[in-house]
């Protein structure tokens, strides 16, 4: 009797197990997101994640082979979702300028909707967050002051200096990091291209989409 019912149930819903697995996995990922964003990678124990997901420690290992693997899955899944959102948004446009614009907008919106993962991604809450903030701060302050002076002098576009400083530092450091591993361009060229891009922008003069 019960056999028939259970058989029927099984036939009715052969995906029950799958759904269950997916749910548990989701719970683990959600718990991991929260804890990693708050305590950082090294401050988060597997046991904590499992407990936060309300499953046994061993259960974690049914879904992720390692803490690193969980982290990688988290990052990859988020990156995939971000790209899909951006692709979908850009698909409606052909003009490179429009595509760039909506791509950027979508990226920012996605980040806003996924703060936790972005915190993890950008190393906030990491062990040396504070130290790095401390040493970055003077660089940014300098740029900010110079930018503010430029704005006051009317030679720099009127943007909040605090914001502009971040944007500028981001461009400089990323370009440098990229260059460090690929020595086929001289640092002088990099320097000059960055300067041009930063001061003149991407848009060819006179063009407004």
Partner DNA sequence: TATGAATGAGAATTCATTCAT
Partner DNA sequence: CATGAATGAATTCTCATTCAT
Name residues contacting DNA, limited to 53-92 (CB under 7 A): 54-63, 65-68
**In the complex with DNA, which residue's Cβ is closer, 48 or 116?**
48
Q: Under the criterion CB under 7 A, does residue 38 sit at the interface with DNA?
A: no
Per-residue H/E/C for 4-30: HHHHHHHHHCCCHHHHHHHHHHHHHHH
Q: Under the criterion CB under 8 A, does residue 92 sit at the interface with a second copy?
A: no
In the list a second copy, DNA, none, the entry touching 15 (Cβ below 5 to 8 angstroms by class) is: none
CA distance 80 to 202: 27
CA angle 85, 90, 94 (to 5 degrees): 170
When binding is defined by CB under 8 A, the residue of 2, 14, 15, 92 that contacts a second copy is 2
Which pair of structure tokens corresponds to residue 16? 């029950």
CB of 196 to a second copy, least distance (A): 7
Q: At 123, give phi and psi (nearest 5°).
A: 75, 10
Q: Which residues, 6+ apart, have CB-to-CB distance to 73 below 8 Å?
A: 29, 64
CA nearest 125: which of 13, 41, 25, 203? 41
Rule CB under 7 A: which of 109-138 touch DNA?
A: none
Q: How far apart are the first and last CA of the chain?
A: 70
17 to 56: interface string for a second copy, x by CB under 8 A: ------------------------xx--------------
Q: Under the criterion CB under 8 A, does residue 122 sit at the interface with a second copy?
A: yes
Q: Which residues, 6+ apart, have CB-to-CB distance to 167 below 8 Å?
A: none
CB of 18 to a second copy, least distance (A): 16
Q: How many residues interact with a second copy (rule CB under 8 A)?
A: 99
When binding is defined by CB under 8 A, the residue of 18, 26, 76, 91 that contacts a second copy is 76
Query: Which residues contact DNA (rule: CB under 7 A)?
Result: 2-3, 6, 9, 16-17, 20-21, 24, 42, 44-47, 50, 54-63, 65-68
């Amino acid at each position: 009797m019960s056999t028939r019912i259970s058989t029927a149930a099984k036939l009715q819903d052969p995906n029950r197990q799958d759904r269950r697995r997916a749910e548990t996995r989701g719970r683990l990922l959600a718990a991991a997101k929260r804890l990693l964003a708050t305590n950082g990678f090294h401050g988060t124990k597997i046991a904590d994640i499992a407990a936060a997901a309300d499953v046994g420690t061993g259960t974690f290992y049914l879904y992720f082979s390692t803490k690193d693997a969980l982290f990688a899955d988290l990052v990859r899944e988020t990156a995939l979702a971000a790209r899909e959102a951006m692709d979908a948004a850009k698909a409606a446009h052909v003009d490179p300028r429009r595509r760039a614009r909506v791509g950027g907008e979508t990226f920012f919106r996605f980040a806003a909707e996924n703060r936790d993962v972005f915190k993890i991604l950008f190393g906030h809450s990491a062990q040396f967050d504070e130290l790095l903030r401390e040493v970055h701060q003077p660089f940014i302050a300098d740029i900010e002051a110079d930018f503010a002076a430029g704005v006051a002098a009317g030679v720099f576009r009127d943007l909040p200096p605090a914001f502009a400083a971040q944007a500028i530092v981001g461009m400089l450091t990323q370009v440098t990091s990229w260059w460090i591993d690929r020595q086929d361009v001289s640092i002088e060229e990099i320097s000059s291209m960055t300067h041009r891009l930063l001061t003149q922008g991407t848009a060819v003069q006179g063009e407004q989409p």
